[in-house]
Amino acid sequence: MKLLAALLFALIAAVSISVSWLLGRRRERRDRATLDRAVAQGLSEPPSLHPVIDPNRCIGTAACVAACPEGGILGIVNGRAALIEPARCIGHGACYAACPTGAIQLVFGTARRGVEIPHVKSDFESNVGGLYIAGELGGMGLVRNAISQGAQALGSVARALAVRGKHDCEYDVAIVGAGPAGLAATLAAKQAGIRSITLEQDAIGGTVYHYPREKMVITRPVDLPGYGRIEAREIRKEELLRLWHDVIRTTGVEIRERERVTGIERAGGRFVLETSQGRHRAAYLILAIGRRGSPRKLGVPGEESPNVAYSLGETSEVRGKTVLVVGGGNSALEAAAELANPALANTVVLSYRGGAFGRAIPSNRDRVEELQRIGLLTVLWRSSVLRIEPRRVDIEADGGHTSVTADRVYVMIGGDLPGKLLRGLGVEVDVKFGTA
């Protein structure tokens, strides 16, 4: 009986090991295919902070794979952990903490693609006195970190004001950007009784507003100044944007949306901000503008027309219109898909200079393909806008020319990085090529 039990135990163990080995091999094939696809689509460069795995220290436990809140970004290739969807990594850093052998470093940039990071001190002040930088612009893309940095930067401003005393400016501090860092700084200013103005060139949410649908943005509880603790451990993009609006209503802070900063000067120890709606003077400045920068322009005649926009806003306001969306990233695909909702009765055309939506996540590509299939969306591949008129857009497509009727034009081709703005203000900027 003992021999039989031993043989049975050995058989079960052998079967378990074999099944585990087969499942591991299948997972590795899947992960390798994902990595190869990312490379083929030109999506092999992480946008900011990301892990680098030392293959000599990695033992392939997949603890980092399981720890990643995004899912599917890390995988196992050749028995070692690997970043298989680099373009989707936003630097949660959970993989670093989960690795049992210390095989992971978190770095900015890669050997081929540098990332500009401005110099900031421990209190978030730059080398330019009175100018503070918080959030993604400083390299930390996580919403939770950005919230913390925005509040801390405002705390530094409060201490500086206490030392410096009175000034002749309209505001104590100007906050540029209403994403997580900017909103946290605004809330902290109200809580501290500091006179502030918050300017957002787009909609409340900043960079988060342009994230893909359903993207996980918070994975741990966070504290908002003057509002309280957000206990939810998993918050997605749409939930966070709704929360932001609730926070603003509850606290009564004012955010000046759709007011774009067109220039900043430092004169006499003060900051003078020229905007699309006027001029503002502040003793201190917090830049919380993210890394997306200002919307990139097409540079074609008619682009300044009132029917041209660079973000979608409320789709419910666009009904029964002919619409052209320009771009091939997640923002463009999501906008086109939202506008092509049958309930809105719009006629939607999506123009993209490439031949495939390689920069977009699979769910957005699938959504657009389905809308094409059922005739609710038309895609013009390898196309470029030549001229925008009040109800017509001239387009070059596949070597020929065509015209598209369009009541509205949405240009979603990314943003110009804020490096030029920083350098113009005298902020020192480093380019990181895989620097820890």
Residues 275 and 328 in one domain: no
Which residue(s) pair with 351 in the sheet?
A: 326, 380
Average pLDDT over residues 178-207: 91
The residue among 107, 128, 160 that closes a domain is: 107
Count of Cβ atoms closer than 10 Å to residue 231 Cβ:
7
Residues 421 and 409 in one domain: no
The three-state (H, E, C) secondary structure of 401-431, written as one string: EEEEECCEEEECCCEECCHHHHHHCCCCEEE
Q: What backbone phi and psi angles, to 5 degrees, belong to 107?
A: -130, 160
The residue range of the domain holding 36 is 29-107
Q: What per-residue confidence (pLDDT) applies to 331?
A: 85
Q: Strand pairing of 50-53 and 104-107?
A: antiparallel
Q: What is the pLDDT of residues 56-70, one digit of tens each?
A: 999 988 999 998 887
Q: What is the pLDDT of residues 93-142, one digit of tens each?
A: 889 889 999 999 988 888 887 777 888 898 999 999 999 999 888 776 67
- Tracing tokens 């919380």 back to the chain, one arrives at 288
Is 10 part of a structural domain of the chain? Answer: no
Q: What per-residue confidence (pLDDT) applies to 311?
A: 80
- Entry field: residues in the chain: 436
Burial of 430 (0-12, 13-18, 19+ CB in 10 A): middle
Residues 269 and 315 in one domain: no
Residues 289 and 323 in one domain: no
- Copy the structure tokens of residue 84: 């298989």
Say whether pLDDT at 21 is over 60. no
Pick from 375, 374, 404: nearest CA to 391: 404
Residues 94 and 167 in one domain: no
Residues 165 and 212 in one domain: yes
Is 211 part of a structural domain of the chain? Answer: yes
Percentage with pLDDT > 90 across the chain:
44
Is 20 part of a structural domain of the chain? Answer: no
Say whether pLDDT at 382 is over 70. yes
The residue among 56, 72, 107 that closes a domain is: 107
Is 397 part of a structural domain of the chain? Answer: yes
Residues 167 and 64 in one domain: no
Number of domains in the chain: 3
Residues 291 and 194 in one domain: yes
Burial of 358 (0-12, 13-18, 19+ CB in 10 A): middle
Tell me which DSSP letter residue 320 carries: S
Residues 100 and 136 in one domain: no
Residues 161 and 283 in one domain: yes
Pairwise CA distance, residues 140 & 117, whole Å: 10
Q: What per-residue confidence (pLDDT) applies to 104?
A: 92
Say whether pLDDT at 357 is over 90. no
Q: What per-residue confidence (pLDDT) applies to 19?
A: 56
Average pLDDT over residues 401-405: 90
Q: What is the pLDDT of residues 43-100, one digit of tens each?
A: 777 877 889 999 999 998 899 999 888 788 899 998 899 998 887 787 778 898 899 9
Local confidence band at 195 (pLDDT 50, 70, 90 cut-offs): very high
Q: What is the pLDDT of residues 236-246, one digit of tens each?
A: 878 888 888 99
Q: What per-residue confidence (pLDDT) applies to 161?
A: 94
Lowest mean pLDDT across 163-167, 222-226, 279-283, 360-364: 360-364
Pairwise CA distance, residues 154 & 151, whole Å: 5
Average pLDDT over residues 419-431: 85
Q: What per-residue confidence (pLDDT) applies to 203?
A: 80
Q: What is the mean pLDDT of the chain?
A: 86
Q: What per-residue confidence (pLDDT) applies to 17?
A: 64
Q: What per-residue confidence (pLDDT) applies to 214?
A: 67
Residues 290 and 427 in one domain: yes
Is 378 part of a structural domain of the chain? Answer: yes
Lowest mean pLDDT across 130-139, 171-180, 371-380: 130-139
Q: List the CATH number of the domain containing 357.
A: 3.50.50.60
Residues 167 and 188 in one domain: yes
Is 14 part of a structural domain of the chain? Answer: no
Is 351 part of a structural domain of the chain? Answer: yes
Is 423 part of a structural domain of the chain? Answer: yes
Average pLDDT over residues 154-159: 96
Percentage with pLDDT > 70 across the chain:
89
Lowest mean pLDDT across 1-15, 124-138, 314-328: 1-15
In single-letter form, the type of residue at position 312 comes to L
Q: List the CATH number of the domain containing 101.
A: 3.30.70.20
Q: What per-residue confidence (pLDDT) applies to 429?
A: 86
Which residue(s) pair with 236 in the sheet?
A: 216
Q: Any idea what the Cα angle at residue 158 is, between residues 156 and 162, rounded to 5°?
A: 115
Residue 150 and residue 116 in contact, taking contact as beta carbons nearer than 8 Å = no
